[in-house]
Every structure is written in structure tokens, then in C-alpha cells.
Structure 1
Amino acid sequence: MRITEKVIAASVFAMLAGCSLFGSKDTKNQPAPLVELKGGMVPKTVWKYSMNKAGTAVFTPAISGESVYVADGDGVLARLNAASGKEAWRVKTGVDLTAGVGTDGEVVVVGGKKGVILAYDANGKELWKGQASSEVLSSPVVGGGVVVVRSVDNLITAYDAKTGVKRWSVARTTPALTLRNAPGMVINGPNVYVAQPGGKLLVLALAGGLQRFELVVGEPRGATELERVTDIAGTPVIFEKDVCAVSYQGRVACFDATTGAPHWSKPTSSDVGVAVDQRFVFVSDDKGEVAAYSRESGSNAWKNDKMSYRRLSTPVSFGRAVAVGDYQGYVHFLSREDGSYIGRAATDGSPIQSDPVIAGSNLIFQTQSGTVTALAVE
């Protein structure tokens, strides 16, 4: 499974080669063949835009108003019209990028090689350049006048969004082994919610970095360090008054976003994030199964096991469907109500690892080869 390829030793911030440390790929768990579809939903490709390859990084498009911002591993940052895909501008940062994109519509931020942080205005003009303490894999987030960056040594730092002056920093310990992924962050009101190694969700005040509270999504269990890896996967999602997240070898859980009071949790294991809508919380687990849980009670509503080991992306609730990408660049559409297969669309044949985003009536995916695709459904 891909998960053993993403586990790293964290001491001295040395990023050891994951799969060489823990063994070769599992040859028994082969990806399930594509399910034959008869009728159902027919997704339409609205537009495509070509970026360069992501390399070992994962770049998630960022939406603000009518614009979508995209980046790639070769250092290109672009702003597109989210409805048409028309390019507004495209700049070469001059640095190989490793993380992004974060924006509040006025400031656009990406992370570069060796921890470089680059901030631009909405017109593509460079505002400032900063330096993180180590490599940056998580997309920076922008809000409340600050840019928040998490580096792989688990130092969380806030910079003034307009000037790049450091406002505050919070250092957190890192377990001996962690996933080489990009634990996400989300800003909501006066707080920033930071996914953590070890199954914790840290909530900090944007104004000064003071800890509001800490939530336990997954608790380390097992006799070995590898068995005890339980990092939060993907980006926490805030929907109305709930904040929900999922961890590897842990749980999917929802809490009160204001107080941290737990609502419910269920055992699962995922190395990508969750999706939340009015009724459900959706999870793609590390075996390739997609499950829906009641947002109110946590009871299991349905599970689809027809995509086993297809290395699924974070799902997204999109109209009457739940969409999820896979390792061959396919986007699968499942019924939101019962999880049955209702449609499929192809992109460019390369893995979809970044989170899908919604812009108006378009659903946008970015592949590891750099194709940005906007899909629409009836």
C-alpha cells in the first residue's frame, strides 16, 4: 500500500526514503478494476489548463471569488477564471515549489524548496519572501491579516500578510515516525485549526498564537512505532458549528468548532482528508473504500468497496454525488444517498492526490502531472 511509502523518520528533520526504510509495495492488494457503468451521470469537462508536474509534492488549487489559483513543482503560479479556465496571469517564482496554494483573495502564498515562503498580490506581483525553519509541505493559509505556515519540524509560524514580518510561532513536538504528507490547516473566524502528527488537532488564536484547545482525533496504539503512527490526514473541515477530521490508523471524528466538545468518533484509517455536507461526513480509507457517516450521530449511512486500493483522493460532496479521484486520474461519482456508482470522468492518467475544490457549478481537480480539470454534471 502507498502508506508505507509515506512514513518517515522525523528525528533531526531527516526525511528518510519511506519505502526503502519499511519495505516494498504490497503485491497482494492490487487495485480493483474499473466498474462497468450503464447509463447514469455523464460528467462534462468544462475546461482544462496545463501546469507542470508536481513531483513529490501535492498542490491543491485555491478558490477565491471567481478565481482559482494553481501552482506546480517547477515554480509556476497562475491565476485562472474559475468558470472558464481563462488565464489571468502566470508567473515563474524562480523557486521549485513544495506547497500551496493559500489565499484570501488579496494575498497568494506558496511554499518553496528549503522552506522558502513566497507571497504575491492578486495581480501576480511579489509582495515578500520569507524563510521557514524547515521544508514546507502543507499549504499555507491566509486570513485575519496573517499567513500561517507549518513546516515539517512542526513549527507553526504566522507572518504579517502584507509585509511578511513574523508575528508569532508555536513549536510542537513530532513523533519518531510520521507520514510524509501535508497535514492541512483551516482558518475560521479568530482561530486557525492545525492538523498534527500523532492524531491531534490544534486550535490556535490567529491574533497571537495562544492555544485555544487541542482535540484528539486518533490515539497512538500498538507495540511498534510504525503501528503507532496516527497522524491526522488531509485538511480539517469546518461546516457550520462542526469541525471534522480523520487520522491514519485512528478515527474519523467531529467536534464543536467553538468549544472543542466531542460529538462523535468512529474507527477508520485514512491518509487523505474528509468531506462534509449538510447530512454526511465522507471518508476515503486507506483500503480504497468510501464511507458516509451521519454528521449528526456518526452512524454509518453507506459504504462503497468497489474501488479497493485505487489510492483515492479526499472525496467531495457535489450536488447529488460524491466525487473522488484515483491513481489513474479517474474521477468517480457515487450517489450521495446510497454510495452506488453513477458516473466517471477521465483526466490525464496520472494520480489525483490533491483535494478537489468546488467553484460555482464546477468541480476542479489537479493531477500530479499538472492537468487542472473543471468538471460539471447535470
Structure 2
Amino acid sequence: MSARRTLARKAFSLAALVSLMVLGACSSGPARVKPAELPPPANKMSAQVIWSTQVGASASALAPFSFQGRLYLAGGAGTVAVVDAISGKDVWRLNLGTALATGPGSDGQVTAVVTQSHQLVAISDGREVWRAQLPSASYTAPLVAGRRVFVLTADRSVLAFDGQTGARLWTQSRPGEPLVLRQQGVLLAVGDTLVAGLSGRLVGLSPANGAPRWDVQVANSRGTNEVERLVDLVGPVSRVGNSVCARAYNSSVACVDADAGRVVWNKPAQGVVGVHGDAQLVLGAEADGRIVAWRRANGDKAWELDRLKYRELSAPLSLERLMVVGDDSGQVHLLSTTDGSELTRLPTDGSAVMAAPVLSGPALVVQTRNGGVFAWRPQP
């Protein structure tokens, strides 16, 4: 298996008493299957490069975050930056001087990241305003909402902090499987409910005090050893109204009604990155590079594409009739959501696109392993 799979996606954390020990999966194993050569781009649409910038390389998928026409960015060595989505110019940029474990979350006033030393750092207008020590590692970008900062940690705890002072407000913990993934989990707001992925469950919590509102099983532990029994939900998710669709690592994709707290459908799937979609389709890349489109209403398969197999695809972005996904060679594939056919293909700096692309204002944005951030304006 490739170094990216083994180090970035299949490193695990083992809970032992009150501490977490990170386990790196062995890099030995069968050689990676060489993908087929790609034909020349279809060029059925165009996309104009409007800007690019650099935030520093990272071995982890530090996803860009979009909010109100601005891009919130993080680099592995400690750079946090906010740039204007149209011009690409810095609104502010700060070097925290410590390696980062997550990308940023923000409400436009407070921006938060988590360091590799398990510190939650809050920034306002380019200045650090507080730090809080977390009880364990976190690999999921903080959620900043309602003047609070919410954090999902690797020991299956959800913590809430006061956005202005950093005071811890509450903690919701539950025992889970002994192994967790060292990659982005599930943490989002749906109306006035905080939704988190805890092991193989999707849980709705009160943001005021962490009290559970509903709890649904998305995937079950299975296998004969701890690695095979690993069960966890991976981000990003696809949310449309009260419908939240999420992937259980290498197990299934399911859609949940977040108002009623019930599973609408659950389908077997063998993927390791999150999903995205619209009101009609949920889109995901499987571990072997196949792209699958499920119908949001019932989970039936709408179409499947195998032309990008073995390219270690990122989680996708759905934009109405357009699907965007990056690969490990830095190519960004723009596909039709009707049938998966190629519309065009965009180059970056040649390093892997590890996190899902994002849309910020008119800009389609990706970030690469080497820290390059590229923005295009898609044109029909």
C-alpha cells in the first residue's frame, strides 16, 4: 500500500487508560496498482485560474474552510491564514510556531485550530486570543458556532469552550472501540443540534450542555482483531436540510434524518474518505478509486465510474451538475453529476490533493500536500 494510505489514513490511536498512543500502520504490503493513463482532458468546460497562494506542506489533510466569501487555511508547520476568495489576498496571516493537527474552523470572528501537542488555539483578527489544553488528540477541525468552539477528540469526546475566554463549558464522553482513525471525523451543526460521529454512531447533542438528543447506529464493529473491528465515521458529510449522509470507514454510507434521529438508508461501501452531494445524489470515492453516486432519497445506486481507479481520490465536492475531486498526482477532475463523464481536468503543483475541494464565493479551491492553494472560476 502507498505511503499516503499507511501514514495519513491508516495510522490509528490506541486508548490505554487515560492516554492515547498513535500506532503507525506498517508500510509493507502489496505494491500499489498502477492506474491507467488518462486521456487528454475532455475540455467540455473551462475554468480560469484566478489566484494561488502557499501555506506550507502537511502530511495530513488540512482542509480549507469557506465562510462568507473568505477562505480559512492552515499549513502543517503552523501557518493559519484568511484570504479573500475573489482576489486571493491575505486578510490576515499568523504563524503559531507549532505543528498543526487540524484545519481551521471559524464563524468569521473566532478561528480555531488544534495543534499536534493537543492544544486548541483561538485566533481573532490575526491575533492569538487563547489556548486550551485538550485531554487527547484531535484530527477534526473545530466547529465554531454560537460564540462557542466545539472539538471532537480522538477518544470519542465532544468538548465545548467559550469562544471569547476559552473556558471549558462541558464535555460529553463515551467509551468506544479501542482504535480510531487519524483523520477527519464528523462534527457539524444541524439547526440547534450539534451532530457528532462517535465510533460507528451519529449522535445529536444539545450545544448548550452536551445532553444527548438522539443516537443512531451507522456501522457495527466486525472482524477478528482490533484493526479489523475498527469502526469510525469520516468527514466530510453531505448535509441537505435535515438529511445528513456520512461514510463509515471502509464499511458503509448512510443517510440520517437529523430531526427524527433515525437512519433513512444504509448501503455497503468500501471507502475511506467522506462524501458530498445535493438534494438528488450522494457522491463518494471508494478506496480503489471508483466513484459511486447514490440516490439521496433511498440509497439506490444511480451510477458508478471506474475510470479514476487507483488514483487515491480525495473526498468530492458537489456543485449542482458538477462534481469535483482531486487525486494523488495533484490533478483536479471536474465531472458531470449526471453520469460521471469528464468535463475538464485542472493541474496543480503535482502533489496530492488530500482534502475535499471547497467553493468560496466564485472560487473553486483545492489545497495540496505541498501547501499550494489554487483557485479557479469554473465557466460553462
Match of 2:138 in 1: 136
Give the whole-Å Cα distance in 2 for the aligned partners of 1:4 and 1:213: 34
Give 1:137's aligned amino acid: Y
2:97 is aligned with 1:90: no
Provide the rounded CA distance (Å) in 2 between the counterparts of 1:142 and 1:4: 31
1:111 matched to 2:118? The reply is: no
Q: Are the counterparts in 2 of residues 103 and 142 from structure 1 also a CA contact under 8 Å?
A: yes
Q: How far has the Cα of 1:216 moved from its partner? A: 1.7
Pairing 1:329–2:330 present: yes
Find the counterpart in structure 2 of residue 18 from structure 1. Answer: 25
Alignment partners' CA distance in 2, 1:277 and 1:351: 26
* Alpha-carbon contact 1:57-1:137 (below 8 Å) kept: no
SS at match of 1:114: coil
1:154–1:174 contact (8 Å) kept in structure 2: yes
Partners in 1 of 2:32 and 2:159 — Cα distance? 42
Q: CA deviation at 1:25?
A: 4.0
Higher mean displacement: 294-303 or 169-178:
169-178
Within 5 Å, which residues of 2 pair with 1:206-217?
Answer: 206-217=207-218
Q: 1:70 to 1:9 in 2, by over 3 A?
A: closer
**Deviation of 1:7 (Å):** 4.1
Please state how far the C-alpha of 1:264 moved relative to its aligned partner: 1.3
1:18 maps to amino acid: A
Residue identity matched to 2:131: K
Count of residue pairs the alignment pairs up: 372
Structure 1 residue matching 2:104: 3-state secondary structure: strand
Tell me, in whole angstroms, the C-alpha distance in 1 between the residues paired with 2:331 and 2:117. Answer: 32
State the SS of the aligned residue for 1:98: coil
The answer to whether the 8 A contact 2:75-2:371 is kept is yes
Amino acid of the structure 2 residue aligned with 1:173? P
Q: Is the 8 A contact 1:238 1:257 kept in 2?
A: no
Give the Cα–Cα distance (whole angstroms) in 1 for the partners of residues 225 and 130 of structure 2. 44
Residue deviations 1:206-265, cap 9 Å, x none?
Answer: 000011112222222223333222321213332112011011232111111111122112
Whether 2:153 is the aligned partner of 1:151: answer yes
Mapped partners of 1:309, 1:172: distance in 2: 36
| SS of residue matched to 2:26 | helix
Q: TM-score, normalised by structure 1?
A: 0.94
Could you tell which deviates more after superposition, 343-352 or 314-323?
314-323
Equivalence for 1:53 = 57
Equivalent residues of 2:236, 2:315 under 8 A apart = no
Alignment CA distance shift 1:39-1:81 (3 Å): closer
C-alpha distance after superposition, 1:174-207 (max 9, x if no partner):
323332212131122222111233x221221100
Provide the rounded CA distance (Å) in 2 between the counterparts of 1:83 and 1:157.
34
- 3-state SS in 1 of match to 2:103: strand
Answer whether contact 1:32 1:310 (CA < 8 A) is retained. no
2:373 equivalent in structure 1: 372
Separation in 1, partners of 2:112, 2:149 = 8
Structure 1: give runs of 5+ residues left out of the alignment: none
Equivalent position of 1:126 in the other structure:
128
Matched to 1:40, the amino acid is K
For residue 101 of structure 2, give the secondary structure of its aligned residue in structure 1.
Answer: strand
Q: Which amino acid aligns with 2:50?
A: V
* Mapped contact 1:42–1:377 kept (Cα < 8 A): yes
Please report the TM-score for the alignment, with normalisation by the length of structure 2.
Answer: 0.93
Q: Is the 8 A contact 2:66 2:358 kept in 1?
A: yes
Residues 212 and 32 of structure 1: is their aligned pair in 2 closer, same or farther, counting only changes over 3 Å? farther
CA RMSD of aligned residues (A): 1.7
Contact 1:288 1:308 in 2 (8 A): yes
SS at match of 1:113: coil
Alignment match, 2:254: 253
**What is the identity, as a one-letter code, of the residue corresponding to 1:180?**
R
Aligned equivalents of 1:41, 1:338: Cα separation in 2: 16
Matched to 2:103, the amino acid is: G
Q: Deviations over 1:18-46 (max 9, x none)?
A: 225xxx14315333332433442232222
Q: How does 1:46-85 map to 2 (within 5 A)?
A: 46-54=50-58, 56-85=59-88
Q: How does 1:291-330 map to 2 (within 5 A)?
A: 291-330=292-331
Q: Note if 1:189 corresponds to 2:191.
A: yes
Determine if contact 1:10/1:174 at 8 Å carries over to the other structure. no
Whole-Å separation in 2 of the counterparts to 1:38 and 1:140: 38
Paired residues of 1:318 and 1:363 also in contact (CA < 8 A): no
The alpha-carbon distance between structure 1 residues 238 and 156, as it changes in their structure 2 partners (threshold 3 A), is: same
With 218-227 and 248-257 compared, the bigger mean Cα shift is at 218-227
Match of 1:168 among 167, 170, 179: 170
For 1:66, the aligned partner's letter is G
- SS of corresponding position for 1:99: coil
8 Å CA contact retained: 1:218, 1:249: no
Question: Do structure 1's residue 180 and structure 2's residue 176 form an aligned pair?
Answer: no
Task: Please report how far the alpha carbon of residue 274 of structure 1 lies from its aligned counterpart in structure 2 after TM superposition.
Answer: 0.7
**Does the CA contact (< 8 Å) of 1:242 and 1:256 recur in 2?**
yes
